[in-house]
Amino acid sequence: MRTVLVIFLFVPVLLLAQDLDNVSPRQVDSSNVGAGKAQFQQTCGFCHGRDARGASGPDLIRSSLVSHDVNGNLIGPVVHKGRPEKGMPAFQLSDTQISNIAQYLHAQAKVAASVSQRIPSEYPVEKLLVGDAAAGQTYFNGHGNCFSCHSSTGDLAHIASKYKPFDLQTRIAFPSGLQPLLNVKDSSGQTFSGEQVYADEFLVTLRDKSNWVHTWKRNTVRVEVHDPLAAHEQLLKSYTDANLHDLFAYLETLR
């Protein structure tokens, strides 16, 4: 999904993705950041994203633990012990590797903070409204197939009044708030259902409706995934710049 960010050239937040992806030792004046980046991507990237902005695991750039960490003193214990209750395994990395990872994460956070300061909190709607609302409505009810899950008089009623223009535009391609629902059958044939807490190629964790958390090794269970945002992920492969401009213009009429 990250690769389609090029379609969002009209959104200043693209600067964040570009800057974070290109952090190097030269930019932050630290020879350890490059080693930390390589180690992070090898050990942690499959869960937290190659840029540490989150994937199946949480975003570490805005993590309170990372922001309070000093040279790995808080990150290290988490890495060494893991967080089994959240599905995170333990990793036996050396003190040097932990220190390098910490420096990489701090460098990422520093870039994120500097970029955020360049993005106005109230981005002018007139600078974003460059699409055609009628074309957006046609796409919504036609090729985009948005109407199959959404309704302008139902879940999207007054959507433009609920979100700032900048946030609304971003949420078109990158919606949030809904986790995949899992059905897991274990080796005894017992079935568990609930919201995904964590998942990778090794582990899967869900929280059932009684708020109990269950974790299994992935190769010991059968997992069915029902992702309410899967359609948005598929659309990211076909969206054009014009589609996004037009959809945003249409949604801005829903007040």
Give the model's pLDDT for residue 132: 93
Bin 176: left if φ > 0, else alpha if -120 < ψ < 50, else beta.
beta
pLDDT digits (tens, 9 = 90+) for 106-135: 988 887 776 555 555 566 777 778 889 999
Which CATH number characterizes residue 204's domain? 2.30.30
**Domain end marker among 87, 116, 145:** 116
Q: Is the pLDDT of residue 227 over 70?
A: yes
Question: 112 and 163: one domain?
Answer: no
Q: Are residues 56 and 95 in the same domain?
A: yes
39 and 62 co-located in one domain: yes
Same domain, 147 and 242: yes
Lowest mean pLDDT among 3-12, 186-195, 221-230, 239-248: 3-12
In whole angstroms, give the CA distance from residue 203 to residue 89.
9
Q: What domain count does the chain have?
A: 3
CA gap 194, 213 in Å, rounded: 9
3-state secondary structure string across the chain? CHHHHHHHCCCCCHHHHHHHHCCCHHHHCCCCHHHHHHHHHHHCHHHHCCCCCCCCCCCCCCCHHHHHCCCCCCHHHHHHHCEHHHCECCCCCCHHHHHHHHHHHHHHHHHHHHHHCCCCCCCCHHHHCCCCHHHHHHHHHCCCCHHHCCCCCCCCCCHHHHCCHHHHHHHHHCCCCCCCEEEEECCCCCEEEEEEEEECCCEEEEECCCCCEEEEEHHHCEEEEECCCHHHHHHCCCCCHHHHHHHHHHHCCCC
Query: Residue 139's pLDDT is what?
Result: 95
The stretch 86-93 carries a mean pLDDT of: 88
Q: Which residue has the higher pLDDT, 22 or 184?
A: 184
Looking at the predicted structure, is the pLDDT value of residue 6 above 60? no
* Percent of the chain residues topping a pLDDT of 90: 43
CATH of the domain at 100: 1.10.760.10
pLDDT of residue 229: 85
Higher pLDDT: 167 or 29? It is 167
For residues 73 and 7, membership in a common domain is answered with yes
**Residues 194 and 235 occupy one common structural domain:** no
Q: Which domain holds residue 131?
A: 125-176+231-251
Asked if 190 and 152 sit in the same domain, the reply is no
Question: Which two tokens mark 119?
Answer: 């993005």
* Residue 22 shares a structural domain with residue 99: yes
Same domain membership, residue 167 and residue 153: yes
Q: Are residues 74 and 9 in the same domain?
A: yes
Which tokens in the block code for residue 101?
């990872």
Torsion on CA atoms 225, 60, 172, 167, rounded to nearest 10: 150
On the question of pLDDT at 18 being above 50, the answer is: no
What pLDDT was estimated at residue 164? 87
Give yes or no for a contact between 156 and 168, defined as CB atoms under 8 angstroms apart.
no
CA distance linking residue 214 with residue 195, whole number of Å: 10
Same domain, 152 and 100: no
Looking at residue 115, its pLDDT comes to 58
Q: Range with the lowest mean pLDDT among 6-10, 50-54, 195-199?
A: 6-10
pLDDT at 55 over 80: no
- Looking at the structure, do residues 32 and 77 belong to the same domain, yes or no? yes
Summary mean pLDDT of the chain: 82
Q: What is the pLDDT of residue 118?
A: 56
